[in-house]
Amino acid sequence: MSVIEVSDLRKVYGGRAVVDGVSFSVEEGEIFGILGPNGAGKTTTVECIEGLRIPDAGSVKVAGLDPNTDHDRVTQLLGAQLQESELQAKLTVQEALELYSSFYERPADWRPLALRLGLTEKLGTRFGKLSGGQKQRLFIALALVGGPRVVVLDELTTGLDPRARRDTWQLIEEVRASGVTVLLVTHFMEEAQRLCDRIAVIDQGRIAALDTPAGLISRSASSTVISFTPSRPLDLRELAELPAAASVSADDRDGRVSINGTDETVNAVITLLARHHITAHQLRVSDATLDDAFLDLTGATT
């Protein structure tokens, strides 16, 4: 059952459509990701879902409710961690949790929530004294303290070190396991590939693709990359004619060859090298990643 439905969403600023006909649905209990280059319209899209912006056209429904006309009801079932979040520096963790709990009709008990998120020992600590990872944990707690059906997390792990980022990923998985639907906006490909059940790629205000991470990766022009340094020169034209070889290149400095293809191409390369009695030094075979799919879909870096 869809808990979020976005239909032909459009938002215009200064005569330019930053969101232009975006449509997707989010199923109950899934982690749904939104990816896109900077300025693609990701945050504007989720702000319309949160009721922070009013669309110029199209519609948004959260559990069948309009985030604008039914704003008070939507805020009772949707929690949000904004892209840029801040609290008063002298506010303690406990004061923040108690304050946010007071905003809801039936809030969750913040004490087990704080324990689950590793904040119990920091309840008396002022916000300004928290580390980046601790602040992010607190923002997750504040997004969950209302006992929401849906939580929106926008660029949650930006600025975190690798350990803190992975700890946060585990927390998101635990949030979903508790029955909460997660809408995750991110520009970290590894994050999206690990966490998301489905991903919408937004580019220039439109949906460029919507699929599972594996489905998006399978669309990549180079599902497998084979690279090696041949023991003697090799005719690149022969490699280009191999089955499913999408592209072939060689480094002018050391002669290292790279071939974009499929598993079938790998077998063909090995056979070709054996036939010519050529040894492949430092042979590497790697699968395409979500980064590759993203570049193919958008032609941009994150």
Q: Are residues 145 and 232 in the same domain?
A: no
pLDDT at 88: 94
pLDDT tens sequence for the chain (302 residues): 899 999 999 999 999 999 999 999 999 999 999 998 888 999 999 999 999 999 999 999 999 999 999 999 999 999 998 877 899 999 999 999 999 999 999 899 999 989 988 899 999 999 999 988 888 889 989 999 999 999 999 988 777 778 878 888 888 898 899 899 999 998 888 899 999 999 999 999 999 999 999 888 877 665 688 999 999 999 999 999 999 888 899 998 889 999 988 888 999 999 999 999 999 999 999 877 788 788 777 765 44
DSSP string, the chain: -EEEEEEEEEEEETTEEEEEEEEEEEETT-EEEEE--TTSSHHHHHHHHHTSS--SEEEEEETTB-TTTTHHHHHTTEEEE-SS----TT-BHHHHHHHHHTTSSSPPPHHHHHHHTT-GGGTTSBGGGS-HHHHHHHHHHHHHTT--SEEEEESTTTT--HHHHHHHHHHHHHHHHTT-EEEEE-S-HHHHHHH-SEEEEEETTEEEEEE-HHHHHHTSS-SEEEEEEESS---HHHHHTSTT--EEEE-TTT--EEEEE-HHHHHHHHHHHHHTT--EEEEEEEE--HHHHHHHHHS---
Q: Are residues 155 and 121 in the same domain?
A: yes
Q: 193: domain range?
A: 2-217
pLDDT at 214: 85
Q: Are residues 170 and 234 in the same domain?
A: no
Domain boundary among 181, 202, 217: 217
Q: Are residues 94 and 116 in the same domain?
A: yes
